[in-house]
Amino acid sequence: MMQCCEENRNQPLLKLWIGPLPCVLLYHPDTVEVILNSLKNIDKSYTYKFLHPWLGTGLLTSTGDKWRSRRKMITPTFHFTILADFLEVMNEQANILVRKLEKHVDKEPFDCFLDITLCALDIICETAMGKNIGAQKNNDSEYVQAIYKMSDLIHHRQKAPWLWPDLTYLLFQGGREHNRSLKILHSFTDKVITEKASEKKKHDERKCDFDSNCEPSGSKKRRAFLDMLLNAMDNGGNKLSYLDIREEVDTFMFEGHDTTAAAMNWAIYILGCHPEAQKKVHQELDEVFGDSDCPVTVHDLKKLRYLECVVKEALRLFPSVPFFARTLSQDCYIRGFKVPKGTNAIIVSYALHRDPGVFPDPEEFRPERFFPENSSGRHPYAYIPFSAGPRNCIGQRFAQMEEKAVLATLLRHFWVEANQNREELGMVGELILRPNNGIWIQLKRRTAHMS
């Protein structure tokens, strides 16, 4: 796909067939805008249907009125004050990660990809479900294994048209493994929802306000996304059923760990390749934290402006979701070409972010591109790591907060050196952009104010 886009950079769009599906590839800001800005063309493409057995039709996969009402209902749960509560979990898990990585200091290169992914998984489990699964300490847990197995199976099925019909899929080993993993994932979420619901019931019986403290220990009860959904279930209006809640919790588990984990890994890799940028990040961290070991606060995050530009530039070069697709629900015109209803519009963010007209020397890592003076006036659809328009990523502030908090914690402790060049990464565009060969780094201990 990338080769097609690069070789036809001057063409407005490309047509191709994937099996029986007619597709157009879009990789210019103005052509991407036509699709993403539309309130009509919000249907996800055909291959998203393979997520339905696991995620149902939650926020990621639903469409029409269901999507609109669900989006409206869930948006307030990403309010700034709630995100600030989540920061506590992010700090805790980032510190566990630091302790895990300590053993690699001044040692051989190692692959950090899984370590960072398990940290992201623990963060999303506790913030989405209010359940600490301790994935960082026990990556053999059945639930953790099932999440990875399921993601692999879905991606493999999307690429193999002969596995698309449900009947034939079940004849293959993959189909049977899919059903086994599905049972594990759903029974885990069911168990957590049941526990939370009965906890909430006890609270309510004690005439206790949802976020107030009813615990005898006097500790403030942590809110999780699931608590807010259970609250929405009781507060009239669009009542959420038990299954509605499960599909949203599963959606957040799926969407909320792999993408942020990939983003943090790519940021670590790119800083390990560019010591001069890493020095600037360390300088900024020293200015904000000095040699204190205190957790990152919301106020601190606002001051980490250069780190934010590093994260943004890493997401430009390595967008967590390298392409995504919509099925057109009506005919539309793109640069004078009529694209008929039913076509799959594939937005290739990986190619879009490499448009030399918008980002000169696109393969170069330059965090300065995102300084306010350099990014004002840029086409709003030229950089879309979180998609854009009405169906943009609802968790984008959560993700940015997590990425900055975890990276700040790691980089306050370590100096990172990368051990691969880009060709050695073996990049693959699966459900997320992954390095097939892992991210191999070396760590040195860093004392504050180390040059």
**pLDDT, tens digit (0-9, with 9 covering 90-100), for 159-194:** 898 999 999 999 999 999 999 999 999 999 999 999
pLDDT tens-digit readout, 357-398: 999 999 999 999 999 999 999 999 999 999 999 999 999 999
pLDDT, greater one: 39 or 98: 98
Is pLDDT above 60 for 213?
A: no
Residue, of 15 and 238, whose pLDDT is higher: 15
Which residue type occupies 271? Answer: L
Instruction: Please name each of the domains of the chain with its CATH number.
Output: 37-321+385-445 (1.10.630.10)
Higher pLDDT, 265 or 203: 265
Coil vs helix vs strand at 105: strand
Give residue 53's identity as a one-letter amino acid code. P
CA distance 124 to 250: 11
For 299-357, write each residue's pLDDT tens digit: 999 999 999 999 999 999 999 999 999 999 999 999 999 999 999 999 999 999 999 99
**Tens-place pLDDT, residues 120-160:** 999 999 999 998 889 999 877 899 889 889 999 999 998 89
Structure tokens at 73: 């209902």
Instruction: Assess whether pLDDT exceeds 90 at residue 201.
Output: no
CB count within 10 Å of CB 237 equals: 8
Residues 264, 113 contacting (CB under 8 angstroms): no
pLDDT band for position 18 (cuts 50, 70, 90): confident
Which has the minimum average pLDDT: 74-83, 189-198, 231-240?
Answer: 231-240
Residue 237 has pLDDT above 60, yes or no: no
Whether residue 449 has pLDDT greater than 70 = no
Q: Is residue 79 predicted with pLDDT exceeding 50?
A: yes
pLDDT of residue 236: 55
Position 360: which residue type? Answer: P
Q: Assign 207 a pLDDT band (cuts: 50, 70, 90).
A: low
Does residue 106 carry a pLDDT above 90?
yes
Question: Looking at residue 216, what is its pLDDT?
Answer: 46
- Using pLDDT thresholds of 50, 70 and 90, give the confidence band for residue 451: very low
Give the mean pLDDT of 415-436: 91
Q: HSE-up of 300 (CA within 13 Å, CB side)?
A: 24
Please list, in sequence order, all residues whose beta carbon lies within 8 angstroms of the beta carbon of residue 352, skipping any fewer than 6 positions away.
26, 27, 28, 29, 32, 381, 382, 383, 384
Q: Please name the residues in contact with 252: beta carbons below 8 A apart, sequence gap of 6 or more.
A: 124, 128, 225, 395
Euclidean distance between CA atoms 174 and 153, whole angstroms = 7
Q: What is the pTM of this model?
A: 0.91
Distance CA 203, CA 200 (A): 5
Q: What pLDDT, on a 0 to 100 scale, did the predictor assign at position 430?
A: 81
Q: CB count, 10 Å around CB of 170?
A: 12
Percent of the chain with pLDDT over 90: 67
Burial call 302-314: b when 16+ CB within 10 Å, e when fewer: eebebbbbbbbbb
More confident residue, 42 or 214: 42
pLDDT tens sequence across 250-284:
999 888 888 999 999 999 999 999 999 999 999 99
Question: Is 393 annotated as belonging to a binding site?
Answer: yes
- Reported as half-sphere exposure (CB side, CA atoms, 13 A), residue 443 has a value of 21
